[in-house]
């Protein structure tokens, strides 16, 4: 297994990989001229080795295991390499499934050595998404990146622009974007069934991991032998090994995760952002739950995400909404009240009203569940009592609605091909949507800003509506809030 950083030529790697993909594309276009079809030679579903993509996984455990497996399309494509900082955990499943794949701890070494890799899945903690994606795209390697595509707004804009400039076929891992039932919600919106939509309410039961308290104490003696802690930290500030972060609970700490919004915001906010054709919000405002362990002394843990939050964003009217929109987000189990149009004994959103989206229009309400791999359960309730419900269950014809497979097909077809343009979460869409999701985190982090006033008391000076210039990625009325548009990188990891 390779770890040490190795300086390689991005230009040479890009040329090698690009020439391979050009060959694959031409082979696909010219396959109809073959006298004997390949499926006759190799059986139904057979893909000749020369027609296979070389895939690699950056992050091979947890969600990464299913991402690379789905991208391989039941062996249609070749998994050439696996990269993970700890193969002793769930990444071992990928090793068992792909025993011939080369193993690496450092994706930089992998991509510099294996210049024939065509595309990578990136399923790491959030803070490593952008550095890994940039390193791959600089070498002409196509990318599938788990949601949210980046840790912060600046990185999302960077990846969006880089994918376009370098002609990279990209896809974010919010698989519900490929759910065909989205068309049912889109039709209700397009047909104006609920009238002008002025409010959208989004909520989740997350966090379902430890969150809202001080960072655990470091203890290097507890580090698992196979975990490369330095590579796990990546762009984050160095600190000694700290238990209870790897492999899952990093989500609750700003240096590594993006909280409840980052975990499921791209599965929930995607629905209104897509169907209403939203753009950047014009402002953001929030409040967060306060924890007291002593009388009159609130806990203040600015390094960690809060246990609960409530956020409001405003958007200009679009051709789909027909009205300016207020979107609210709540997490930590806080959810909206039942709209009048929905009977009191009906769930709102999904089962037990745990997660969901409500589109509030003049004539009624559209309700949906979280749009990950759960049943979407779209429901229409009109004020006159008319209802229309989508199915409670969905067919399982293809893993995750073919989200990864469609990306692989688009990689083979090439940049700007019909297959590429048909992707439901390429960075041209996923980038601006991710920026909107992460605006909520910018508001939360600004809410925790404090300083000592003239009387020696602590003043929380960021607790205000933040005015957002989306095109220029700037808060215009609180300069200190702009520190959260991007992040500080450890030496050697900047993007």
Q: What is the DSSP string of 146-207?
A: ESSS-SSHHHHHHHHHHHHHTT--EEEE-GGGG-TTHHHHHHHHHTTTT-SEEEEEEE----
Give the range of the structural domain holding residue 374, as residue numbers without chain letter: 178-395+428-495
Query: Quick one: pLDDT at residue 396?
Result: 81
Q: Is the pTM of this model over 0.85?
A: yes
- What confidence tens digit (pLDDT) does each residue in 90-109 have? 999 999 999 999 999 999 99
- 253 Cβ partners below 8 Å, 6+ apart? 215, 245, 303, 304, 305
Indicate the Cα dihedral angle 444, 445, 451, 457, nearest 10°: 40
87 domain residue, yes or no: yes
Report the CATH number that the domain containing residue 239 is assigned in CATH.
3.30.360.10
Same structural domain for residues 61 and 187?
Answer: no
Mean pLDDT for the stretch of residues 264-276: 98
Mean pLDDT for the stretch of residues 300-323: 96
Same structural domain for residues 278 and 348?
Answer: yes
Same structural domain for residues 167 and 213?
Answer: no
Query: Quick one: pLDDT at residue 217?
Result: 95
Question: Is residue 39 very low, low, confident or very high in pLDDT (cuts 50, 70, 90)?
Answer: very low
Exposure on the CB side of residue 254, measured as CA atoms within 13 A: 23
Is 282's pLDDT higher than 50? yes
Counting the structural domains of the chain, the total is 2
Same structural domain for residues 139 and 195?
Answer: no
314 domain residue, yes or no: yes
Same structural domain for residues 378 and 237?
Answer: yes
Query: Quick one: pLDDT at residue 46?
Result: 53
The whole-angstrom separation of Cα 312 and Cα 34 is 58
The whole-angstrom separation of Cα 233 and Cα 293 is 30
Same structural domain for residues 340 and 299?
Answer: yes
Mean pLDDT for the stretch of residues 373-395: 95
What percent of the chain has a predicted confidence (pLDDT) above 90? 87
What residues pair up with 468 in beta bridges, in sequence order? Answer: 475
Same structural domain for residues 100 and 201?
Answer: no
Same structural domain for residues 423 and 441?
Answer: no
Same structural domain for residues 335 and 462?
Answer: yes
CB 20 within 8 A of CB 118: yes
Same structural domain for residues 419 and 436?
Answer: no
Closest residue by Cα to residue 227 from 92, 123, 96: 92
Same structural domain for residues 316 and 404?
Answer: no
Query: Quick one: pLDDT at residue 6?
Result: 37
CB 56 within 8 A of CB 81: yes
Same structural domain for residues 160 and 182?
Answer: no
The whole-angstrom separation of Cα 245 and Cα 238 is 14
3 domain residue, yes or no: no
78-83/54-58 β-pairing: parallel
- What confidence tens digit (pLDDT) does each residue in 170-226 have? 999 999 999 999 999 999 999 999 999 999 999 999 999 999 999 999 999 999 999
What residues pair up with 388 in beta bridges, in sequence order? Answer: 380
- The string of DSSP letters for 279-325 reads ---SEEEEEE---EEETTEE---TTB--S-EEEEEEE---TTTSS-E
């Amino acid at each position: 297994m390779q770890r040490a950083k190795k300086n390689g030529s991005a230009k040479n790697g890009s040329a090698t990989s690009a020439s391979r993909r050009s060959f694959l594309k031409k082979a696909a276009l010219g396959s109809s001229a073959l006298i004997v079809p390949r499926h006759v030679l190799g059986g139904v579903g057979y893909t000749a080795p020369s027609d296979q993509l070389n895939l690699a996984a950056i992050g091979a455990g947890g969600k990464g295991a299913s991402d690379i497996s789905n991208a391989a399309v039941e062996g249609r494509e070749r998994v050439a390499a696996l990269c993970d900082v700890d193969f002793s955990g769930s990444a071992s499943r990928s090793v068992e499934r792909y025993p011939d794949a080369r193993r690496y701890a450092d994706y930089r070494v992998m991509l510099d050595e294996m210049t024939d890799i065509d595309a990578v899945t990136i399923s790491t903690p959030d803070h490593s998404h952008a550095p890994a994606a940039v390193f791959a795209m600089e070498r002409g390697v196509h990318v599938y990146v788990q949601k949210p595509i980046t840790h912060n707004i600046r990185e999302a804009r960077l990846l969006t622009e880089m994918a376009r400039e370098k002609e990279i076929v990209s896809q974010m891992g919010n698989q519900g974007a490929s759910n065909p039932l989205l068309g049912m919600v889109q039709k209700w919106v397009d047909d104006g069934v609920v009238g002008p939509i002025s409010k959208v309410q989004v909520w989740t039961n997350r966090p379902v991991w430890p969150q809202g308290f001080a960072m655990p104490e470091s203890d290097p003696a507890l580090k698992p032998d196979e975990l490369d802690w330095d590579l796990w930290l990546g762009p984050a500030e160095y600190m000694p090994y700290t238990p209870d972060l790897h492999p899952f609970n990093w989500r609750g700490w700003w240096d590594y995760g993006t909280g409840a919004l980052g975990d499921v915001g791209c599965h929930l906010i995607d629905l209104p952002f897509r169907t209403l054709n939203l753009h950047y919000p014009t402002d953001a405002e929030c409040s967060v739950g306060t924890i007291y362990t002593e009388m009159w002394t609130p806990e203040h843990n600015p390094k960690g995400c809060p246990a609960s939050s409530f956020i409001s964003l405003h958007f200009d009217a679009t051709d789909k909404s027909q009205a300016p929109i207020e979107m609210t987000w709540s997490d930590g189990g806080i959810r909206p009240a039942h709209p009048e149009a929905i009977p009191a004994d009906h769930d709102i959103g999904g089962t037990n009203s745990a997660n969901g989206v409500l589109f509030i229009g003049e004539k009624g309400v559209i309700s949906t569940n979280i749009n990950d791999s759960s049943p979407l359960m779209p429901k229409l309730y009109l004020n006159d009592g008319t209802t229309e419900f989508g199915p409670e269950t969905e067919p399982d014809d293809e893993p995750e609605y073919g989200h990864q497979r469609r990306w692989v097909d688009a990689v083979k077809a090439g940049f700007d091909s019909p297959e590429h343009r048909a992707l439901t979460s390429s960075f041209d869409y996923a980038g601006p949507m991710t920026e909107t999701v992460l605006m909520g985190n910018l508001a939360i982090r600004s809410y925790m800003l404090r300083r000592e006033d003239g009387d020696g008391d602590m003043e929380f000076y960021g607790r205000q509506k933040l005015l957002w210039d989306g095109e220029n990625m700037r808060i215009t009325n609180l300069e200190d809030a702009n520190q959260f548009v991007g992040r500080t990188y450890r030496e050697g990891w900047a993007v």
